[in-house]
């Protein structure tokens, strides 16, 4: 009788653990699928020594992924961050060179040239939605580093 009860309890515990393991495998697979899609559209990541991936689900059920590539060396703190939806749509993309130079740039491009580059980046990161994306020049914005 004890053997039967032990077997039943072991099976019950095993059954309870299976959905967690299945969900974790599903989430890992989903993360890998989105990462693969993102890697096709971003610059090479081989210069970075560390990588992290996180999956988030908002209260309304929207799933997003944060991917981070970075270096932690004292002389090299370069990093790249990407936030994407489950369908691969990139919501955020940033690259930091790691140098801490806060002096104003003297070789800046014009606003119109920057808008062209922004359109090209959107087409590369999100080809499916690039035609719906609007990039505009907001002349009301003032900056200490404007092109004068």
Q: What is the pLDDT of residue 144?
A: 46
Which residues of the chain are under the pLDDT cut of 50?
Answer: 20-23, 144-148
Q: What is the pLDDT of residue 21?
A: 47
Q: What is the pLDDT of residue 108?
A: 76
Q: What is the pLDDT of residue 148?
A: 45
Is beta strand 90-96 parallel, antiparallel or unpaired with respect to 50-57?
unpaired
Are 56 and 65 in contact, with CB atoms under 8 Å apart?
yes
């Amino acid at each position: 009788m004890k053997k039967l009860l032990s077997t039943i309890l072991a099976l019950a515990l095993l059954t309870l653990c299976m959905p967690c393991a299945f969900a974790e495998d599903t989430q890992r697979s989903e993360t890998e699928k989105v990462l693969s899609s993102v890697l096709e559209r971003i610059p090479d990541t081989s210069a970075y020594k560390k990588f992290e991936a996180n999956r988030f689900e908002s209260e309304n059920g929207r799933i997003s992924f944060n991917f981070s590539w970075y270096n932690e060396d004292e002389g090299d703190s370069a990093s790249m961050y990407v936030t994407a939806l489950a369908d691969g749509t990139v919501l955020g993309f940033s690259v930091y060179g790691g140098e801490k130079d806060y002096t104003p740039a003297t070789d800046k491009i014009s606003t119109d040239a920057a808008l062209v580059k922004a359109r090209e980046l959107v087409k590369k990161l999100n080809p499916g939605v690039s035609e719906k994306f609007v990039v505009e020049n907001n002349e009301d914005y003032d900056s200490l580093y404007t092109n004068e």
